[in-house]
Structure formats: C-alpha cells, structure tokens
Amino acid sequence: MSLKYWILIIFVIAVCSRSSAQFCMRRYVDGRWISKGDCRGAERMSEMMRDLQRRSEEEKEKWTKCQNYDTQQYYTCNCTDGYYRKNCSQNFCEHHPDVCQHNGTCLKNVTHPYYSCDCTDGSYGKNCSQNYCEHHPNVCQHNGTCLSTVTHPYYSCNCTDGYYGKNCSALVRSCEDAQSALARNDSGGVFKLDIPEVGITNVFCDVTDDGGNWTIFQRRMNGAVDFNRGWDDYVKGFGDLQGDHWLGLEALHQLTKTGNMEMKIEMIKKDGVHLVAKYSSFRIGPGSDFYRLHVSGYSGNATHDGLSYHNKQQFSTKDVDRDSHQSLSCASGLEGAWWHHNCADSHLNGNFSGTGDKGFYWQSSPNPDLLRFSEMKIRKRT
C-alpha cells in the first residue's frame, strides 16, 4: 500500500483509540468502579494503534530506501572527446588502436561513433579503408602517374609530355595551355607542346611579358648559333631553346594557321636602345606555299615597320630562292634566310657579326641599324 493510505489508516485509528480511552477514563473518574472488562476494548484499540504505528514506520522506511535507490539512477555523464558509456569508462581509440587503416590516425570525438580518422595521402572513407590510386590504377590517361593526396579527390596526375588536365586527358597545344593548366612556375621556360602534324615539340614559353602566353619562335642573343642554314633546317627548327634558336616553319604554320594570332618583336640595338614592334595579326602559310608571311597591324616604339615590306612574301633560304629579285638570291647574297622581297628592309636572321646589309638589323635605310638582340614571339589574339 502507498504511504498516503497508511497515514489515513493511522489517523482514523488514532481518533477512535483516543475516543475509546477518554470514555474509559471518564467512567473511572466519575467514581464508579470499572472492571477490567470495561476497558478491554480501549486496551485492544491501543494495541492495534501501536501495531499500526510500527508497521507504518516500517513501510515508511522501505519507501524512503526505494526512493533513494531510484533517484540514484536518474543521471547522465557529459563525457570528454572519445569517451563513452554510462560512466565515461571507455575510450574508442584506446580500445580500437587499428580502427583507422593505411596508417591513419584515430581522433577522439565527443559524439557517436566517438572517433574519426585522419587519413594519410590517398586514403579516405570512415576508416581510411579506401585508397583512390589503388582502386583506380588507370585514372591517369596517356601513361600518367597517379599520385595520392590527402584532400578530395584524393589523387592528382603527373602527366606525360604533351598532356595536362585532371586525368591527363587534354593535349598541351600552346603556351597558353602550358601556363594555365600546368602552372609549373612563374617565370616560364621550356615546355613540351603537342603541335598538330609536328608532334611533341619543345618550345620556350614566356609567361611574364605583357600577361604571358607567348611562344618564342626566334631568338638571337649571342651569335652562338649559325643562322645561315638551308631549307630543311628552317622547316624543322634548330638551336638552343635557352639561347639562340629558330622554332621551325612547319610548327609556326600549325600554330598560326587559324589566323587569330598576334606577334611581338623585342630588340636591342648595338647602342643599347630597346625597340618593340607589335603586330595585331600574324600568320604563316603552309609549306605548299613556301610558308608565306601574312602580317599587319603594326604598333610599337621602333619608329619603323620593318615587316610591312616583306608582307605576302614566301620564305627563302640559301638553297631555296623564293624572293622577288629578278637576278639575285637574296638569302645567299645577304647570308641569311628571311621572307625576302627585293631583298630586305629588315633581316633578323642575318649574320650576327656582319656589317652593312649583310648584318643583323631591323631597318635597312638610310644605313642598316644593327642589333645585338632579337626575340620574336606569338600568342592568341584577345
């Protein structure tokens, strides 16, 4: 029975017992002799009262113990990272030291599942159980190498020459591709381009001048390379890409045949004056047309447009004469290949150490203005 019920019983019995006892005493006090039998009911009532009091105390004690016991169950523990269970008695990482695979590190977590994994390069998933390169051995195309990374997508590709992109799926066709996609450095240098009809070709990319993306196709800087060469050399290219070189007429044609290229020439005169000539349109025709020059849109500080005289001319070398001169091979006479007309207003492939019109110059009249440096480069017109 509940405590309230026992209290009610005790209250009722107490009232009755008191009334009975008072009646017995009152009859005794009035001077009448009262036999034991007359107070027997009061005595029985008192006995019952004592018994009920004893039992109620026992019930009260039991109820109090029960309440204390139940109250002890009503608590929770706010566990620190990695610990869990009712009394924070267990730590997941300590009890499961190998839960993170591929040398991953188990990190304590305050919420279920009470841990997370700091995975090593290339591994991912709840328990670092997956490695992208191992599960996708052919993700990098064209013989590229899969490299594990610690962040999504958990890999990168080291592409072979001439390819770039996330999976090495794109061809590097220009210095613009090389600069934006490969991003190897901030100063440029030698890159491999996959040039149509030519194949994988080393070129020097200038990524700093005027926004970059320039492909250098001619440079003269110290005279270490002889430019008085035959037709085949000029078609294929020659020289040292870090120094004096000529990229090649066929490569130049393939890079410019779309007609949306611009060209820039930087020069230094013998007296140290810097000259710049820029053309908004530059294109070289096919080999069947002897790589004819198409150039226009001059601007710069050179005070002289040295190429307009040569516009629409075919290329000539000492063994292939395609100039407009009636009786003279300009390439042989001036000791250098060029888009000769009748013969030259400029001659950037001339004899590096030559003098007069057999030298290396941009402006021929009234006297050749000799140079000590030249660099010709192209990029897509924006």
Q: Are 339 and 357 in contact (CB under 8 A)?
A: no
Q: How many folded domains does the chain comprise?
A: 1
| Cβ density class 285-324: b for 16+ within 10 Å, e for less | beeeebbbbebeebebebebbbbeebeebbbbbbebebbe
In a domain, 75, yes or no: no
In a domain, 90, yes or no: no
Range of the domain at 282: 182-380
CATH code of the domain covering residue 241? 3.90.215.10
Q: Are 301 and 273 in contact (CB under 8 A)?
A: no
Q: What is the pLDDT of residues 333-344, one digit of tens each?
A: 999 999 999 999
CA atoms within 13 A on the CB side of 46: 10
For residue 17, pLDDT over 70 is answered with: no
Q: Are 182 and 203 in contact (CB under 8 A)?
A: no
Mean pLDDT of 96-122: 81
**What are the phi and psi torsion angles at 210 (to 5°)?**
50, 45
Mean residue pLDDT of the chain comes to: 83
- Max avg pLDDT among 110-114, 154-158, 258-262, 310-314: 310-314
Least confident range from 72-76, 168-172, 176-180: namely 72-76
- pLDDT for res 21: 47
Residues paired with 193 in a beta bridge: 201
And the tokens for 352? 């590096």
Which long-range contacts link 72-81 to residues 24+ away (Cβ below 8 Å)? 79/110, 80/108, 80/110, 81/108, 81/109, 81/110
- For residue 56, what pLDDT band results from cuts at 50, 70 and 90? low
Which of 223, 218, 216, 227 has its CA nearest to residue 372?
223
Residue 320 vs residues 26, 111, 317, 328: alpha-carbon distances, Å: 157, 82, 5, 12
Mean pLDDT of 201-214: 92
In a domain, 325, yes or no: yes
Q: What is the pLDDT of residues 118-129, one digit of tens each?
A: 887 777 778 887
In a domain, 21, yes or no: no
Q: What is the pLDDT of residues 285-329, one digit of tens each?
A: 999 999 999 999 999 998 789 999 999 999 999 999 999 999 999
In a domain, 172, yes or no: no
In a domain, 276, yes or no: yes
In a domain, 336, yes or no: yes
- pLDDT for res 187: 62
In a domain, 362, yes or no: yes
Residue where the block lists tokens 């992208």 = 132
